[in-house]
Structure 1
């Protein structure tokens, strides 16, 4: 595992170079109270431990990147069964509670949830992303690009949709990119926004 941290920097990148390890004891990161950039790259993490870290008053993260992460089953902290897509609804629940916690953040300005290494990423209901946009008044950039490319001819969707009556009212967000969205999210805005760029990649239409 490579941990990049510079004495005079506020950035920390945790990256696995060979096998995917489990990253725990997030409370230890709380000691690094001036960290403003956190990137988790190909690591296994406990959703509960992670949201506890994000909710601490010492967390001053402004940029959060979750790249090809794998999630432990939140109903069994001793289980290493992770990210089995729709076969494991608890993995989906894990990413949903992480996004829900981020919606309460007053420090994070840039959020990137991406899948550059092609892991089987858990699905999330689009309503959680819409709720994130509505609740948060700090985020300026959201990139949610987690396509599962195991089968390039039939990629498994990572964003699903239950019937939604949501509208969007947000004047803070400037940049938005969502891949595989099952709905036309740009039609939900009910007020003027400060969006500068928007990329909505709808694979289903």
Structure 2
């Protein structure tokens, strides 16, 4: 059944723990690399208006015959070629009538996690950005990233969600680095 003129979209904040060059990273060290791994979010650069040149979370319209989880996974595969996630969960709904220019859009946001050893092949307009040094972001996407990081940090205290950011086998020091990166402090 067709919907009204309100567009429903899915957005996904995909996180991975990564090391960044010193000029990109907020926690940089010697030899042009950050001392510690950092939490990164996957963003693509908008090529069209509105807000051309800003960075966006992967996402797009929910199809009439599609469930939300399927939409989030489809958008990740189509827009940024990410097909394997260790974790995906619905985060929140963003429904402020002015969150994007007309027509009205309601976004169901997701939190996705990719293990640190996974290296998806990304299109040229897509890259990982340290959460500690986000670029100019589109619409309310920075708010979505903030909500996703807060959820991840909270879940670290009562679940084993950190394993979704870890490789299949890992040392305790690697797990500690993952926790520090996800929390943003030692």
TM-score w.r.t. the length of structure 1 is: 0.27
Structure with more of its chain in helix, by fraction: 2
Comparing both chains, which one has the higher relative contact order based on Cα–Cα distances under 8 Å and sequence gaps of 6 or more? 2
TM-score w.r.t. the length of structure 2 is: 0.29
